[in-house]
Amino acid sequence: MPRRTMALRKARAAARVQRIADLRHLLARMDRHTLLDTERPILRAHVEQLLATDADLRRTIAGQQDLVQRHARQLDAAHDAIREAEQDAADLGEQLRAYRAAETYRQAAADTVEGRLAALRQQTTEGLLAGAEQALHRATTAEATLGRIRALSHRMRAGSPQGAAAIYADRIEQTLHTPEQP
């Protein structure tokens, strides 16, 4: 605080202490019924001064109380705003967690679909490969069998060109070259 303010406060405090001392002295004289006519106006002035000071203090206190109440309302409003902001933050946090959970679920579902597709591709590839291997085996077996039949047919023709063997050989040859009918 500035020096002048402190000096004014000290001067006011000293004057107040002096007035209170004078007032007590005058009240004591009044109790003893020794108050002089010249002291009555002094007593009245001191009482008026104290009443005025008291009224000023009451107004100041009322103003301070209004100010404190206003600040209390502002503080309550600030607390309400903070609580509301915290609730909004909690709600947004909950919403963010829900979005993340949904995204995790979506990603897991996508991974599952990709996994299923990969497994299906693998199974299909393995099935086709097994089928192709079986077909190749059957074709190889059929080709070997056909080769033996042709060789047998040639031997039959060579062994007896005019007999039953030649007829059988022709029939076998026709059967081999004739497409199957469904």
- Whether 108 maps to a domain, the answer reads no
Q: What is the pTM of this model?
A: 0.39
pLDDT band at 131 (very low <50, low <70, confident <90, very high): confident
- Whether 169 maps to a domain, the answer reads no
- Whether 130 maps to a domain, the answer reads no
* Mean pLDDT for the stretch of residues 149-175: 66
Residue listed under structure tokens 């023709």: 157
- Whether 159 maps to a domain, the answer reads no
The pLDDT of residue 166: 64
Q: Which residue has the higher pLDDT, 180 or 12?
A: 12
149: pLDDT strictly greater than 80: no
Ramachandran area for residue 33 (φ above 0: left; ψ -120 to 50: alpha; else beta): left
Q: What range defines the domain where residue 31 resides?
A: 3-86
The pLDDT of residue 180: 62
- Whether 163 maps to a domain, the answer reads no
Query: Measured between alpha carbons, how far is residue 68 from residues 58, 62, 75, 82, 83 in Å?
Result: 15, 10, 10, 20, 22
- Whether 165 maps to a domain, the answer reads no
- Whether 69 maps to a domain, the answer reads yes
The pLDDT of residue 94: 92
Lowest mean pLDDT among 108-117, 119-128, 133-142, 147-156: 147-156
Residue listed under structure tokens 């031997």: 155
The pLDDT of residue 87: 92
- Whether 71 maps to a domain, the answer reads yes
* Mean pLDDT, the chain, whole residue set: 81
Domain count, the chain: 1
163: pLDDT strictly greater than 60: no
The pLDDT of residue 112: 84
